[in-house]
Chains A and B, each alone.
Chain A
């Protein structure tokens, strides 16, 4: 069961859910710069890749925000969207923490209007349209994080990427179920 905080929809969606990130990632990474990153001949490579992943999370957060404010979602679907958006905020914070630990600067979010244009949201007319967009983004994100793993130099970030991929795959499965998509008959489903 998904619990929704006792505040307005807008404040819930814009407030940010950041509690897990710093403590969680430091624990995950052991609180120091990963050995592979220290020894790498290309110390900025992981920063570049993690920042691209961060940009993906910024876009996902914006997409759920736009969906929530569209007026197209039922109350139950809105609850699911709020929960998924909070997961993406945690991903965002974990990635930003990792980037800063590597000495990099975390990429900033663009404006909501820029995301809306890039995602073509003006074409969304129904709840199903919104859900199909979300499913495409989540499914793509699961694959993107899995495909990113071999390019990351520090093994600690392999784990981070895999964990986020799992979350995205979970989101995609839920959204596919809501849309009555058939269960894939062949595996692997992602990656």
Chain B
């Protein structure tokens, strides 16, 4: 019985940990966050201070057409999966030292929402 309780506790704890590592994203809220927190440098369709973001989820790093990347990001060879985008938005300079992107999005929920918004805008217009 004691083993069963311990086992159930581990399962529940694991589920909670998994949940806290990857909160469910809300694309609508992510759109608002994208405009207010990312919009100084980025847009979906135009290269600005940073590259255009439409279709970024699943794209290889350093490959947005027409954008001039830092040497560090050009050679980083990362695929922008949701998990990698979460790491990137958490601390880009720790993930790719030498990158020109320094903006950090501290809240896991905010990151999940922005990533959900980017996923929603995955294909060309």
Contact = CB atoms under 8 A, between A and B. Distances in A.
A152 B102 contact: yes
A55 B104 contact: no
Contact of A117 (B41, B46, B70, B99): B46
Contacts of A137: 39-40
B103 A144 contact: yes
Contact of B48 (A42, A49, A59, A148): A59
Interface string B36-67: 11111101001111100000000000000000
Interface in B91-123: 91-93, 97-106
Contacts of A87: none
Interface string A26-62: 0000000000000000101100110110011001000
Given A56-B40, A118-B48, A140-B38, A48 B98 contact: yes
A48 B40 contact: no
A44 B98 contact: yes
B40 A118 contact: no
A52 B37 contact: no
B40 A140 contact: yes
Contacts of A52: 41, 49-50, 100-102
For this complex, into which size category does the number of interface residues on chain B fall? Answer: 20 to 34
A159 B91 CA distance: 19
Given A48-B99, A49-B102, A147-B103, A56 B36 contact: no
B35 interface: yes
Contact of B37 (A56, A59, A117, A143): A143
B100 A136 contact: no
A141 interface: yes
Interface residues of A, number: 26
A119 B41 CA distance: 10
A148 B102 CA distance: 5
A52 B67 CA distance: 13
A56 B41 CA distance: 7
Interface of A: 42, 44-45, 48-49, 51-52, 55-56, 59, 117-120, 136-137, 139-141, 143-144, 147-148, 150-152
Q: Which 3 A-B residue pairs are closest in the complex by CB-CB distance?
A: A140-B40, A151-B102, A140-B39
25 contacts: A42-B98, A44-B98, A48-B72, A48-B98, A48-B100, A48-B102, A52-B49, A52-B101, A52-B102, A56-B41, A56-B49, A59-B49, A118-B46, A119-B46, A120-B46, A139-B39, A140-B38, A140-B41, A141-B40, A144-B41, A147-B102, A147-B103, A147-B105, A148-B103, A148-B104
